[in-house]
Chains A and B, each alone.
Chain A
Amino acid sequence: MKFRDEYRDPEAAQRLAAAIARITTRPWTLMEVCGGQTHAIVRYGIDELLPPAITLVHGPGCPVCVTPVDYVDKAIEIALRPGTVLCSYGDMLRVPGSDCDLLAAKARGADVRIVYSPLDALAVARASPGREVVFFAVGFETTAPANAMAVFQASREGLRNFSMLASHVLVPPAMRSILASPGNRIDGFLAAGHVCTIMGYEEYEPLAAEFRVPIVVTGFEPLDILEGVYLAVRQLEEGRAAVENQYARSVRRAGNAPAQEIMREVYRVVRRRWRGIGEIEESGLAIAPAYRDYDAEVRFGAVAAREEAPGECISGLVLSGERKPSSCAAFGTRCTPEHPLGVTMVSSEGACAAYYRYRRTPLPAAAE
C-alpha cells in the first residue's frame, strides 16, 4: 500500500538509526505522547535500534488508559439498562471499571456492540427506533471530530434515540502538566501526528518556547518515528528548541479547518480528570449546551466523580513517563494482560501491555 509500505523499509530504518547514533553525543530523554506511537515502537522494536544514550519514554498517550473509571462505570450502567444499546470502540471493552468491564456487562446480557466508526452507532439508532442507543465516545483530538459528527448529524435529523457519553482529552495541557512538574526530565517531545493532523501544531509553539524543548510532530511508521527522533536529537545537540513537522504529508500548521469547526460547534472545553494522573485544567471536551439533547450525561445522569485507590499499580507514573513498565514490581508477575492491575496493562495501547506483549523479558544478547 502506497504511503505505508515505503515507510517500513528495513534498510532505510538502519540508516536513520545509524545517523541518530552518529549525531548523539550525550544522553537525551524523549517522550512520545501517543498510544499508537508506543505500539509502533514496541512492535517494530524501534527503541532497540536507537543508541543507548537515547531514552524513549511513553507518555499519557492512550486515551483509553486515561478515561476516568467513573466514565467506564457510567457506560456499564447504561449498557445494563433494558432497552439500551451501548456502542463502543473495541479498545474500551476490557478497561476495568470499579466492578467489572463492558465485556463482562455483555456477558450479563447487556447489548454492547463494537463499532468501527461513530457513524455506525448512528446507523444502529436509525435502525432501532425503539431502543436507546448510546455511543461511548473517548479519544484525543484525532477522534473528537468524528465523534462530534455523529452528534451533529443526529441533531440535524432530529434523531431522538441517540446520545453520546463523551470523555475526550486534549494533548497540549497534558504535555504542559508534564513539563511543568518539578521532577520533569523530558528533554524533547515527539508530538502525536494524527492529533496534529486535526489541530495543527501552532499550539505547541508556546510550549517549545516557554520550556525550551524541541517538539517534533511525528508520524507512526518506523521511518517516521526514527526521523522524528533524529530531528529532535539534532535540535537538542544544536541547542535549539522549536516545533518541527516530520509528518508533513499529513500535518499542516493550521490543521484541519472543517474538523476544528465542528469540534467548536459540538463541544466545550472543560477540566478533566486523567486516570492515574489527576485533574488538569481545560484538558477535556464535553458536549456543548446547544447539544444537550444528545448528551448521555443529561439523559442518563451525570457521571459521579470517584477517587480511585492506587494499590500496587503505578500506571500514573508510567503515564507521566516517570517510570518504565519493566521497573514495576508487579509487571509480568502479578500484573499481566490476563490479570491487569491498572489501565496501562488493560489497553493494548497502554505502555505496560505493549511492553508485555512484545517483549516480556530482555531478549538474549546473542539474538541477532
Chain B
Amino acid sequence: MADDSFALSCPAPALAEERIQLAHGSGGRATERLLDAVFRPAFANPALDRRHDGARLAIDGPLAFSTDSYVVRPLVFPGGDIGSLAVNGTVNDLAMCGARAEYLSAGFILEEGLDIATLRAVVDSMRAAAAAAGAAIIAGDLKVVDHGKADGMFINTSGIGRIVARGVIEPQAIRPGDAVIVSGDIGRHGIAIMATREGLGFESAIVSDCASVAGPALALCESGLAVHCLRDLTRGGLAGALCEIAETAGLAVEIDEALVPVRDDVRAACELLGLDPLHVANEGRFVIFVPAAEAAAAVETCRRFPVAVGARIVGAVAAAPAGRVTARSAIGVRRVVDMLSGDQLPRIC
C-alpha cells in the first residue's frame, strides 16, 4: 500500500525484490509494483500512461505491420541484449517494407528467478533502441512462468509503421540484371554470441552488429531510386536471405565471395571454428536489390549512415536457374550456396 505514494517522476522506484517471482505475473499488486518500478518509467508515453487495455491510434495508411519473438541466449552479449534485438528486429522488419516504425508493443514472458537488474538493463536497452528509431512502445504484456520454463526471458515485439516507399518492395519486384548490395560486413552477431558461450570462447573485440537499419533503408526508399527489394539478414546469414529471396522471386542470384565484406577477426573466428561466414547470423545488416544502373547511387546513399558505411555491391541477379544462389569461390570457380537445415555448428573435421 505504501507503494502508491511513488511518483512517476522518480527515475527508478525502488523494488524490494531482487528476483522475479511468480506473483509478479499474476496481475495484482506485485505486477503493478514491477510495472511502476521497471517498465513504465522506461517506456513512458501518453498512450501507455493511460493504463488502458489497449492504445488508441490515429494513423492513416498505407501501413506495414510486423511481429517477432526473441529467445536469444545469452540474454546479454557483447554489443547488445535481447531487448535491443527485440526492438531493432521489428523496426528493421518494418523498414524492409519501406515503413518507418511508429508504434511498438512488447510482450514479456519472464522466468521465475530472473534477476531484476538484468531485466532493468534489457528494458533500458529497449527504451534506447525505440527512441533511436523514433518509435514509442505503447502496449505491452507481462507474464511469469515457473523456473526452468523460459531461459531467463522471452520477448515478443510487434510494430506498426507508415510506408514511405513509393514502389512496392518485395522479392517479386526483382528483375534479372539487378545488383545485389549488402549494407556492411557480415558475421559479427553470430561470432559475438559464440564467443560468450562456454567452450567456444576467445578474447575478441567482436561485438554484435545489432542495430536499427531504418536510417539507410528508408533513405533509399525516399531517394527516388527504384528499390526492388530489401531484406534484413538474421539467423540464416547472408546465404539464408539470398536463398529465400531467390526462391520467392523465382530468379538466380550470383555473388562473388571476394566481394562480400568480412572483418579479419570475424573471418579468423570462422576459420577456427570451421564456420562459413555466409551462414553466420547478423542483426544489423540488410541486402538491397536495385537496377544495375542505380547500384552506385544506392551504395552512396547507404554509406551516409554509420550502420551502412561498409555497403558494397556483391553480385547480381540472373534469370535462371530459378531459386539458385551461387558464389564464385576464392579461386574463381562457381559453387552453389544452399540454406542450411539447422544452425551451423562448429566442426573439427
A residues near B (Cβ < 8 Å) are 1, 4, 8-10, 13-14, 35-36, 39, 42-46, 48-49, 62-64, 87, 89-91, 93-94, 103, 113-117, 120-121, 123-124, 139, 143, 222, 336-338, 347-349, 356-361, 363-364, 367-368
B residues near A (Cβ < 8 Å) are 198-200, 264, 268, 271-274, 320-321, 326, 328-336, 338, 340-342, 345-349
Task: Tell me which of B333, B346, B349 contacts A45 (CB under 8 A).
Answer: B333
Chain B interface, >50% SS class = loop
Contact indicator B348/A358 (Cβ below 8 Å): no
Chain A residue nearest to B328 (CB atoms) is A368
A222 vs B341: C-alpha distance in the bound complex, in angstroms?
27
Contact indicator B331/A13 (Cβ below 8 Å): yes
Chain B CB within 10 Å, residue with most, of A1, A62, A360, A364: A364
Contact indicator A124/B331 (Cβ below 8 Å): no
Chain A residue nearest to B333 (CB atoms) is A45
A357 vs B331: C-alpha distance in the bound complex, in angstroms?
18
A348 vs B272: C-alpha distance in the bound complex, in angstroms?
16
Q: Which residues of B contact A336 (CB under 8 A)?
A: 341
Contact indicator A360/B338 (Cβ below 8 Å): yes
Q: Which residues of B contact A10 (CB under 8 A)?
A: 330-332
A222/B330 contact (C-beta < 8 A), A1-B268, A113-B199, A114-B200 known: yes
Q: Which residues of A contact B340 (CB under 8 A)?
A: 337, 357
Q: Which residues of A contact B331 (CB under 8 A)?
A: 8-10, 13-14, 44-46, 49, 222
A91/B345 contact (C-beta < 8 A), A115-B199, A120-B198, A364-B321 known: yes
User: Closest approach, in angstroms, between the C-beta of B47 and any C-beta of chain A?
Assistant: 40
Chain B residue nearest to A64 (CB atoms) is B349
- 16 sampled A-B residue pairs with Cβ under 8 A: A8-B331, A10-B330, A45-B333, A64-B349, A93-B345, A114-B200, A116-B272, A117-B199, A124-B198, A337-B340, A348-B347, A349-B349, A359-B335, A360-B338, A363-B334, A368-B332
A42/B334 contact (C-beta < 8 A), A114-B199, A124-B198, A349-B349 known: no
Contact indicator B329/A43 (Cβ below 8 Å): yes
Q: Which residues of B contact A1 (CB under 8 A)?
A: 264, 268, 271
User: Closest approach, in angstroms, between the C-beta of A116 and any C-beta of chain B?
Assistant: 5
Q: Which residues of B contact A338 (CB under 8 A)?
A: 341
